[in-house]
Structure 1
């Protein structure tokens, strides 16, 4: 206080006022910067908390949040399981102990059936089927097809174009120019791996209307 009184003339001179003003402004600006930094720090913390909360909610809801599998992948798996339960698959084969039927049932395709032959194409069993596998040999006899399975498969595809018809056989040869080979949706060897049958079924099950 004594220092101020002794130097009052200098303090209140133009130079003194200017210097004091600079010092005061320095401390005011510094306090403002500290306050601003404090606000940014709090905002940053809040932002992290909000982001973490969003990630947790996404995990709980099964949504994609960077490292999670896309929700579309989960939906496809769920859809496949649903289609396994709703797809009606019919094998027409004189060998009713064909092992693929049991394999498909165990794999979840629970509505897979097999019959020795078709005598009524308008039966509920045929009409309700979405996918039909027709053996080339030993079937189609009850309906009088001279080409047996080829004739039956060709007929079924023409009658029910919305259904998927696949022919199969143990024979390597046969009539390669038969109309059925151009009409049906696919064909494979009867001794093909079970996974090949399942791949075809999965593909065609996704294409047919299960309603």
Structure 2
């Protein structure tokens, strides 16, 4: 089964679960469960706390046995597909900052839809890597996640990550800088809908991607 087919099956299972939970047939109207949506939001908040601590084992414990993800490699933003919990643990251990760096996520859930057994989340925002020299790298991100209610509680069955814009770096004064650490003339950071980008006055466009 291909990645696209697998994701389609996940979504199909979600919709079948929605209709089955509503007790109606093929013409059923989706019935949202406010209580379940609150639980899923809390489940996501707990996950963000685990990411902030870098607790890999605890993160892996939130994953379903049939978990899959389309991730972005932290160093270069290239996509990677992972279908195994153990492999996800190995990947996470390469993801978190080291050498005095810290990671902050300003990502928030802008949409949560759930019934009693399945929940779909859309998120967007910035992952910010703070470095010992006072500079920061912003990684704008959008993601979707599918959670399923199991006998052991909510578990993540699928994550899908995508870049929301070019990565960029700022100095300790929050001024955009180039790969050599020099301030980019006329550049400033703007944030819209939780996602940050660099614009250059008089040009109205984003600055080039800055990566090590």
TM-score, normalised by the number of residues in structure 2: 0.20
Of Structure 1 and Structure 2, the greater strand share is in 2
Query: Looking at CA atoms only, which structure, 1 or 2, has the larger radius of gyration?
Result: 1
Of Structure 1 and Structure 2, the greater helix share is in 1
